[in-house]
Amino acid sequence: MARILVTEEIAEAGLDRLRAAGHEVDLRPGLNGSDLVSALDGAAALIVRSATQVTAEVIEATGDLLVVGRAGIGLDNVDVRAATRRGVMVVNAPLSNSISAAEHTMALLLAQARNIPQAHADLVAGAWNRSRWQGVELCEKTLGIIGLGRIGRMVAERAAAFGMRVIAHDPFVAEERARRLNIEMFDLVGVVEQSDFLTLHLARTPDTVGLIDAALLAQAKPGLRLVNVARGGIVDEAALAEAIRTGQVAGAAIDVFAEEPTTESPLFGLEQVVVTPHLGASTAEAQDKAGTTIAEQVLLALAGDYVPFAVNIAVGEAPEAIRPFVPLAEKLGEVFGALSGRLPERLDVEFRGRIGEVDDRLATLAVVKGLLDRVVAEAVTYVNAGDMAEERGLDVRTVSSPVTTDYLNTITLRSDDLTLAGTLVGMRAEPRIVMIDDHILDVPLADHMVIVRNADVPGMIGVVGTVLGDAGVNVADMAVGQSEAGSTAVMVLSTDRSVDANVLDDLASREGILSVHGIDLV
């Protein structure tokens, strides 16, 4: 029997399953910080929703914790990296709210199109204003979907039943896969230019924060109506409010906000806007599913059984030679995805050296997980990464060989237009990038990096350093790799913090700079 600490409300059916298995369920709502650390003394499992902050400090202070269960999909409040370092499994319930989120999207879509909340408020206040609240039909309108994961696909199916044309943007979904779903794929601007309605189904990442900004809204089809049931911060709320005031955007329906909880937003004073307080997963069915699912996952983890929804995984299950390379593989996948900006049709993963002689399946999954993790709205785990890659049309192949050249072991990722290689160096097994395309270099993987492709001419290091220095960005490490042809070079810089998009844009505009990518691995 184990003690399971539960700090937020979950479905009673889930609690009953835990008790029926013989475990002690300790309900202590509202814990955080030092109070949470104290309550975790002697607990083998912790179950939370979104309010409890399971920080690195909390995890490091616990000695008996085996598993953290998040009753829902998001993991913003759980430090998964710290848990992995401590050998604590993190599990979630990724399928629990998909239907509810898709249905709430359709509810907001209809409410926005037909002005339902506004008309209701008007009528109960004593005003009968039929003409004021005239709406529009969904039939024969174009719905643009940004993010074609599980929830995005569900919305597409439901929109098709309303007679809508569905288009989408998701660089990590193969066009053939979308065609089978009767969805046309375009780039981001192409979707915005054609859509009568636009709905977002993205993860919140450094790349997607502020994605829907003033510049993009200015390119939208006049009269666009925007729906966001994904994550707050993806939409620039001030820019959206201004676009509605000018008439460029006809209206919006928003369930999520940059800061939550909130009672203030530039959108709240506009009658063309429908808002709800993050209700996408707030159905009895979703909460029941989340509670029972997380109870099942925690029970499996405590019993030492296979856990389908484990977000991290014990690398002890891998051969000893490759265990230290699993985190490196995941980070290389993240960097590859950031540099590529799309999902390749085929990805070759090469393991050379001693790691080329052992079972590399877990490290391959780590690459795929890293590649998908930052670009899809659903939680990517070692369990579902392979299926998610297959759904998106990604063909992953491994090449293994004991033969290597410059390093004892290397992992190399190759697509048609990008090559990235890494290794571990020294007694501390420091992860390093050692090649980008045909540019040989040697630089540590860091939490914050800027990768610059530039013409191989004098003065380029000074240009990059000046732009970053003027922006107050400190460069902690740097490496330059030249191509064999000598015409281009690659700079990889480790920085002390995330570099703002406007700084990256300034750098990209300088003569001789071919491309710039800011990458945050935290």
Using the 8-state DSSP alphabet, how is residue 361 labeled?
A: H
Cα distance between residue 177 and residue 390, in whole Å: 10
* Domain 3-95+285-312 and domain 319-520 have a common topology: no
CATH classification number, 98-275, choose in 3.40.50.300, 3.40.50.1010, 3.40.50.720, 3.40.109.40: 3.40.50.720
Listed in sequence order, the residues at least 6 apart from 19 whose beta carbon sits closer than 8 Å to its beta carbon are: 25
- Whether 345 contacts 174, CB under 8 Å: yes
Residue 386 φ then ψ, to 5°: -65, -45
Amino acid, res. 28: R
CA distance 326 to 232: 31
Per-residue pLDDT for the chain (522 aa), expressed as one digit of tens each?
A: 899 999 999 999 999 999 999 999 999 999 999 999 999 999 999 999 988 999 999 999 988 899 999 998 878 899 988 887 787 999 999 888 899 999 999 999 999 999 999 999 999 999 999 999 999 999 999 999 999 988 999 999 999 999 999 999 998 887 888 888 999 999 999 999 999 999 999 988 878 999 999 999 999 999 999 999 999 999 999 999 999 999 999 999 999 999 988 999 999 999 999 999 999 989 999 989 999 999 999 999 898 777 878 887 654 456 778 888 988 999 999 999 999 888 888 999 999 999 999 888 889 988 998 998 776 766 677 767 787 888 888 899 999 999 888 899 999 999 999 999 999 998 888 999 999 998 999 999 999 999 999 999 999 999 999 999 999 999 999 999 987 777 899 999 999 999 998 999 999 999 999 999 999 987
CA-angle at 151, arms to 150 and 152, nearest 5° = 95
- 458-490 in b/e form (b: 16+ CB < 10 A) is eebeebbeebbeeeebeeeebbbbeeeeeebbb
278 is catalytic: yes
SS3 109: helix
β pairing state of 419-425 and 448-455: unpaired
At 343 the pLDDT is: 82
Rounded Cα distance, 207 and 224, in Å: 23
Pairing of strands 409-414, 395-401: unpaired
How far is Cα 351 from Cα 404, in angstroms, rounded to an integer? 9
Domain 3-95+285-312 indexed as CATH 1.10.3330.10: no
Q: Which pLDDT score is estimated for 465?
A: 93
186 membership: H or E segment, kind and range: none
For residue 431, what are its two tokens?
Answer: 């992860």
Task: Please say whether the dihedral angle defined by the alpha carbons of residues 405, 410, 414 and 418, taken in this order, is positive or negative.
Answer: negative
Exactly one of 177, 201, 231, 374 is catalytic; which is it? Answer: 231
- The alpha carbon of 13 is separated from its chain's Cα centroid by a whole number of angstroms, namely 30
Tokens matching residue 370: 């890293």
pLDDT of 316 = 46
Task: Please give the helix or strand (H or E) that residue 413 lies within, else none.
Answer: strand 409-414
Q: What 3 state SS string does 80-94 have?
A: HHHHHHCCCEEEECC
Note if 81 is an active site residue: no
**φ/ψ (deg, to 5) at 113:** -65, -35
Strands 197-200 and 224-228: parallel
CA distance 162 to 139: 6
Give me the architecture of the 319-520 domain, per CATH: 2-Layer Sandwich (3.30)
pLDDT, position 487: 84
Instruction: Look up residue 11 and give its amino acid.
Output: A
Question: For 396, which DSSP code?
Answer: E
Strand partners, 78: 54
Q: Are 482 and 439 in contact (CB under 8 A)?
A: yes
**Residue 261, preceding peptide bond in cis (omega within 30° of 0):** yes
Q: Is 231 tagged catalytic?
A: yes
Looking at residue 197, its amino acid is F
Identify the active-site residue in 104, 204, 278, 392. 278
Question: Left, alpha or beta for 342 (phi > 0: left; psi -120 to 50: alpha)?
Answer: beta
Contact 108, 274 (CB under 8 A): yes
Q: How many CB atoms lie within 10 A of CB 263?
A: 7
Can you give the pLDDT at residue 362? 85
Burial 393-404 (b: 16+ CB within 10 A, else e): bbebeeebeeeb
* Interacting residues of 74 by C-beta distance below 8 A, sequence separation 6+: 50, 92, 379
Q: Which helix (H) or strand (E) holds 60?
A: helix 56-60
Q: Where are the domains of the chain?
A: 3-95+285-312, 98-275, 319-520
Q: What is the pLDDT of residue 323?
A: 82
447 vs 85: CA distance, rounded Å: 16
Structure tokens at 43: 């607990």
- The Cα-based distances of 370 to 374, 381, 398, 443, 503 in angstroms read 7, 9, 16, 19, 26
Cβ atoms of residues 149 and 101 within 8 Å: no
Q: What span, in angstroms and rounded, lies between the C-alpha atoms of 106 and 102? A: 6
Q: 12, 260, 317, 345: which one is catalytic? A: 260
What whole-number distance in Å separates Cα of residue 327 and Cα of residue 324? Answer: 7
Helix (H) or strand (E) holding 400: strand 395-401
